[in-house]
A and B are shown apart, each in its own frame.
Chain A
């Protein structure tokens, strides 16, 4: 039982990283109506900034963390204003292709600036474990879960209780009417991209200490995040968080306890489960069924 609980906590820890990246995808989907394929690469780029600040410029961890979030936010806004917004007219696939272009370009840029070498990243949390009711839990896992949880709460407060949050929701739900009441829709969508970049940066910085940092850090994570977002319902922030946690725990248990699955078939196994969920509930667990007017 203790072993099982331990696997659950490890799953929650990686699940919270998926959740944060999934949340980024959901924010962008609500703002722009597309899946941002470059989300993972943007996060990788941010993680490299944090790594450079701590390793090459001698910053301590948390100031570097904060500075990275600010830079990521600015980067997200700049990407939306620079290349996404001008391409928003016409087929959504046009924006999808732009994000694929961004994926290539940012991935290349990371390799160009920091080389493809694999780097070790220090963790802000001690690697010790503490004992809770016979279950050994690493402080790093608790820290990861804590940081993501805090981010989600801050984000929720922002969306529910501030004027900017309200404007952002209005811009996403009904751009035309939001514009009529004086919301600067394009800038609200840019804010969404900025926040998404921040969430991605958080997931990247939390993931890096346990898996090492290289230019393809987030490629696999993006797939998990995509799956988590769709599992929860691509328009639902709560769904993204729940989807991420469920996926993290599920993957870990599946890989540990089902022999046939092992490490190789973890991902296909998880995707199969998600496909089944979608077939029963085609718009995710928390998603709303779209009603079209003819």
Chain B
């Protein structure tokens, strides 16, 4: 029984990998690009869930961490001639360090006050980016389109003898990183570190008296979480081939929080549904009605209805299904 339980997630993950691998053969390049964005959101959501779902620290500012990752990539590619894929690890490390450093003052804050602190960062980010024009390109942003040596936006990419169009290449790049990030998070969260995170979330006092160092684990959660957001931001820049201050608005940070709650706090598997949800909700809402204002009404109503139906997000739904099948 024990054996079976530990193999089930691995089998499910293998199935997911296969599905992800074959999807581009069945959908248009345009759809493949939309699914690439799902992977990008998934990466950011995994990061946010490490912080909010597992460690209990609410962040309303993950869009700002994505902005740091995105701008790292854009500046390295456009100004320093680094090939786009190599900027991804640099963005991860840099954003992770920023997140870790932000985590130190954030130790003093909890609950809504932390939410405001992170919100403040996200709100200020566009203005700060505009202000340091020489470095960031100011309001007009940085263009990555073209640059055939550094990005794949014009030339097809050849990998393992397969020639891939930009959209397919983007799809495989994003999903490979997303699935790898998923496995890393899973390994991290099932062991000692994950236990410490959950202990901090459930009761800081109890965690501390059991010997869990709050400063260490909270800043660690911030660092890991930001590193994921940095990777997501970097991929976002590669995908849009353009960044400006409005690429990472405050709405993005809020959208990520929505994705985590809809997916399920403290669960990894639900996040895939959360990522699909935040990518496709605006698109589906557009299809219902196009008159100005109507898509927002549809999105809002769907979101509220979802909280009525799935209070624990999609992860809660999965858990309920699992108990049903066990009977």
Whether B28 is near chain A, meaning CB under 8 Å from some CB there, is: no
A90-B312, A294-B203 are known contacts. Are A104 and B108 too (CB-CB below 8 A)? no
The answer to whether B311 touches A94 (Cβ under 8 A) is: yes
Chain A residues with CB under 8 Å of B109's CB are 278-279, 282
- A275: contacting residue among B120, B298, B311, CB under 8 A: B120
A97 to chain B, nearest CB (A): 5
Q: Which of B115, B130, B303 contacts A100 (CB 8 A)?
A: B303
Q: Is the CB of A264 within 8 A of B130?
A: yes
Q: Are A226 and B262 in contact (CB under 8 A)?
A: no
- Complex CA distance for A135 and B257, rounded to whole angstroms: 47
Option from B127, B304, B308 in Cβ contact (under 8 Å) with A267: B127
Q: Please measure, in the bound complex, the distance between the C-alpha atom of A278 and the C-alpha atom of B113, giving whole angstroms.
A: 8
Do B299 and A104 have beta carbons less than 8 Å apart?
yes
In this complex, how many residues of chain B approach chain A with their Cβ under 8 Å: the count is 46
Judged by a CB distance under 8 angstroms, whether B318 is at the interface is no
| Chain A hits for B116, CB < 8 A | 226-227, 230, 274, 278
Question: Given known contacts A100-B303, A109-B293, A265-B131, is B124 in contact with A234 (CB within 8 Å)?
Answer: no
Task: Give 7 closest A-B pairs by Cβ, nearest first.
Answer: A105-B300, A108-B296, A111-B293, A104-B300, A101-B303, A268-B124, A112-B293
Known: A91-B265, A271-B120. A282 touches B112 (CB 8 A): no
The yes or no answer to B93 lying at the interface (CB within 8 A) is no
**Quick check: A112 and B297 within 8 Å, CB to CB?**
yes
Q: What is the total number of residues of chain A having a CB less than 8 Å from a CB of chain B? A: 51
Chain A residue contacts of B67, Cβ below 8 A: none
Greatest chain A CB density within 10 A among B130, B262, B296 is at B296
Kindly state whether residue A157 has any CB partner on chain B within 8 Å.
no
A227 surroundings in chain B (CB, below 8 A): 116, 120
Q: Is the C-beta of B148 less than 8 angstroms from some C-beta in chain A?
A: no
- Tell me if B292 and A93 are in contact (CB < 8 A): no
Residues 258 to 292 of chain A near chain B (Cβ within 8 Å): 264-265, 267-268, 271-272, 274-275, 278-279, 282-284, 292
B300 touching A102, Cβ below 8 Å = yes
A271 touches B123 (CB 8 A): yes
Q: How far is the CA of A105 from the CA of B306 in the complex (A)?
A: 14
Main secondary structure of the interface of B (DSSP, over half): helix
The number of inter-chain residue pairs (CB within 8 angstroms) is: 140
Out of A91, A100, A271, name the residue touching B124 (CB < 8 Å): A271
A107 to B299, alpha carbons, bound, how many Å? 11
Q: Which residue of A lies closest to B282 (CB)?
A: A104
B295 and A274 form a contact (CB under 8 A): no
Chain B residues with a Cβ under 8 A of chain A: 52, 58, 105, 108-110, 112-113, 115-117, 119-120, 123-124, 127-128, 130-131, 203, 205-206, 254, 257-258, 261-262, 265, 291-304, 307-308, 311-312
CA distance A37 to B105 in the complex (A): 25
Interface presence of A146 (CB below 8 A) = no
Provide the residues of chain A in CB contact with B298, threshold 8 Å.
108
Contact of A93 among B58, B105, B301 (CB under 8 A): B58
- For residue A158, give the distance in angstroms from its CB to the closest CB of chain B: 25
**Residue on A nearest B209 in the bound complex, by CB:** A294
Establish whether residues A98 and B115, one from each chain, have CB atoms under 8 Å apart when the complex forms: no
> What separation, in Å, do the CA atoms of A29 and B300 have in the docked complex?
21
Most buried by B among A86, A274, A278: A278
A26 to chain B, nearest CB (A): 11
A116 within 8 A of B: yes
Identify 25 residue pairs between A and B in the complex whose beta-carbon atoms are under 8 Å apart, listed by A's number: A35-B115, A83-B304, A91-B261, A94-B261, A96-B257, A97-B262, A98-B307, A100-B303, A101-B301, A101-B302, A104-B296, A105-B297, A105-B299, A105-B301, A108-B296, A111-B296, A115-B292, A227-B116, A230-B116, A271-B120, A271-B123, A279-B105, A279-B108, A279-B109, A294-B206
CB under 8 Å from chain B, chain A span 69-124: 83, 86-87, 89-91, 93-94, 96-98, 100-113, 115-116
Our pick among A104, A108, A111, A268 for the contact of B127 (Cβ within 8 Å) is: A268
